[in-house]
Copies of this chain bind each other. A is one copy, B any other.
Amino acid sequence: MQVSELNRHGFTSGILPAQCPSRTVLDHVTSKWGVLVIIALSQGDLRWGELRRTVEGVSEKMLAQTLRTLEADGFVHREAQATIPPRVDYGLTDRGRALAERLLPLMDWIADNADEILSV
Contact = CB atoms under 8 A, between A and B. Distances in A.
Contacts of A99: 106, 109
Given A2-B44, A109-B99, A57 B114 contact: no
Interface in A31-68: 31-32, 35-36, 39-40, 42-44, 46, 54-57
B16 A40 contact: yes
A1 interface: yes
Contact of A15 (B22, B107, B120): B107
Nearest to A118: B21
Contacts of A35: 26, 30
A114 B109 CA distance: 25
A72 B119 CA distance: 10
A96 to B, nearest CB: 11
Interface of A: 1-2, 5-6, 9-11, 13-18, 20-22, 24-27, 29-32, 35-36, 39-40, 42-44, 46, 54-57, 72-74, 95, 98-99, 102-115, 117-118, 120
